[in-house]
Amino acid sequence: MSVFASPDVPGFGSDLPIPWWLLLVKAVAIFVFLVVMTLFAIWWERRVVARMQHRIGPNRVGPFGLLQSLADGVKLALKEDIIPKAADKVVFVLAPIISVTPAFMAFAVIPFGPEVSIFGHRTALQLTDLPVAVLYVLAVASVGIYGIVLAGWSSGSTYPLLGGLRSSAQMISYEVAMGLSFVGVFIYAGSMSTSQIVAAQTQYWYAILLAPSFVIYVVSMVGETNRAPFDLPEAEGELVGGFHTEYSSLKFALFFLAEYINMVTVSALATTLFLGGWHAPFGVTSFWAGANHGWWPIIWFVLKVLIALFVFIWLRGTLPRLRYDQFMRLGWKVLIPSSLGWLLLVATVRAVNAQYNLQSRDVLLYGGAGIVVILLLTFIPDLLATRPSEEPEGEPEWDAMAGGHPVPPMPGQSRPVLTGARASDDDDDLPTEDDT
């Protein structure tokens, strides 16, 4: 059975399964959804962070300040479009386009809901259903990195260059951990198609079944989107604004749009792969049988995406930014080995189960073993690190001239006993611990 002609994926391999106007309606709907989500997410982020900091946040433009981000967009459009003298003009203009277009395209494979009827046509609430959907999302998201690194390079300025490089190094580092965290899901679902992964989660969500994979995915999705506490490419204290320092007007707005769309995309991916997709949360179907049919699943989908976005904002409001070496260490030395270890564990247990038909206890087994493995793995960096000894051996000899100019001793330091005739009578003005 070839992956590319899988007969169980609806609408694949046949002629265009839906009329062209319906396709256009769906594409425009996804476009509008993403733009509206971006405008909403910016407003929501500002409101939530404001609440966390005991402020009110934007509340003037429109009801509850909801139109604030729209007003900001209009303001940006009315600002001067500056192309710096040192910039590589063509690449400088192309970079925001390269950044924002793949961000939109990645959403084409995300399922919003089951089959519904639109003007008499039965069609799934998903733009297209590829057998390699998740691979496609990863591929398209990687193209967006080009936009960032080209923006940094073409600006002809130091801060954007370093910001762009950091950003791309960060995104590719965390993409490895992200890619590895998906493997467990594929093993369970037996497919890379987003619709089939959602269909496989009717009983258990993979966030529960594959909890360590989910944790690794959540950490790497924050790193992948360059968000706090991993927002090193935009570290204001070091790099001004990172790769978009030289951008202004709507070009800057496009980068902003791309960043927020990427946030929505990784949240939607988390929803689809780990949080049951458009399925209603547990318990809802017990008192409302229709919760998983018709148009209702869109509510669950959007709700889950909004919760994931809230986690992004929550992290930003809570955690300080990491240092770059700490950040790279987390990615390469913690996330990658732990996801590989977890993956081997999942594969082994599942293969043994399939071989010997031990189906019942695997949820328990995975959960317990996974927690143990994660806990053990957290010790590895500690064991390997050479710790500075807590107590320095003996009292270090205090050298008054160590800094190039004479300094008095700190509390706890004692002056060495000076030899010579004048040592005992001229140091009365500097009290030390020996004097008391």
Scanning 61-69, 70-78, 272-280, 407-415 for contacts with other proteins by CB under 8 A, the matching segment is 70-78
107 is a site residue for other proteins (CB under 8 A): yes
390 is a site residue for other proteins (CB under 8 A): no
Positions in 132-161 near other proteins (CB under 8 A): 135-136, 153, 155-159, 161
Query: Considering the complex, what minimum distance in angstroms separates the CB of residue 250 from other proteins?
Result: 3
Cα 138–Cα 143–Cα 144 angle in degrees, nearest 5: 100
Amino acid at 276: G
Give strand pairing partners of 388. Answer: none
11 is a site residue for other proteins (CB under 8 A): yes
Cα–Cα distance for residue pair 413/229, rounded to 1 Å: 38
How many C-beta neighbours within 10 Å does residue 49 have?
17
For residue 254, CA distances in Å to 83, 98, 170, 232, 250 come to: 15, 10, 21, 20, 6
Locus of tokens 């960043």 = 259
Q: Please identify which residue in 7, 19, 21, 31 interacts with other proteins, judged by CB under 8 A.
A: 31
Between 191 and 225, name the residue whose CB sits nearer to other proteins. 191
Q: Please identify which residue in 43, 44, 104, 301 interacts with other proteins, judged by CB under 8 A.
A: 104
Cα–Cα distance for residue pair 154/166, rounded to 1 Å: 15
Scanning 24-32, 56-64, 111-119, 229-237 for contacts with other proteins by CB under 8 A, the matching segment is 24-32
Between 351 and 400, name the residue whose CB sits nearer to other proteins. 351
- What phi and psi, each to the nearest 5 degrees, are found at residue 285? -70, -20
Between 49 and 340, name the residue whose CB sits nearer to other proteins. 340
180 is a site residue for other proteins (CB under 8 A): yes
377 is a site residue for other proteins (CB under 8 A): no
183 is a site residue for other proteins (CB under 8 A): yes
Burial category of 332 from C-beta neighbours within 10 Å (exposed 0-12, middle 13-18, buried 19 and up): middle
Between 329 and 415, name the residue whose CB sits nearer to other proteins. 329
Between 30 and 309, name the residue whose CB sits nearer to other proteins. 30
Radius of gyration of the chain (CA): 28
Locus of tokens 């564990």 = 345
Scanning 26-34, 293-301, 303-311, 363-371 for contacts with other proteins by CB under 8 A, the matching segment is 26-34
Between 98 and 309, name the residue whose CB sits nearer to other proteins. 98
How is residue 333 annotated by DSSP? Answer: I
Q: Please identify which residue in 3, 118, 307, 358 interacts with other proteins, judged by CB under 8 A.
A: 3
- What phi and psi, each to the nearest 5 degrees, are found at residue 205? -80, 145
24 is a site residue for other proteins (CB under 8 A): yes
Cα–Cα distance for residue pair 304/276, rounded to 1 Å: 9
347 is a site residue for other proteins (CB under 8 A): yes
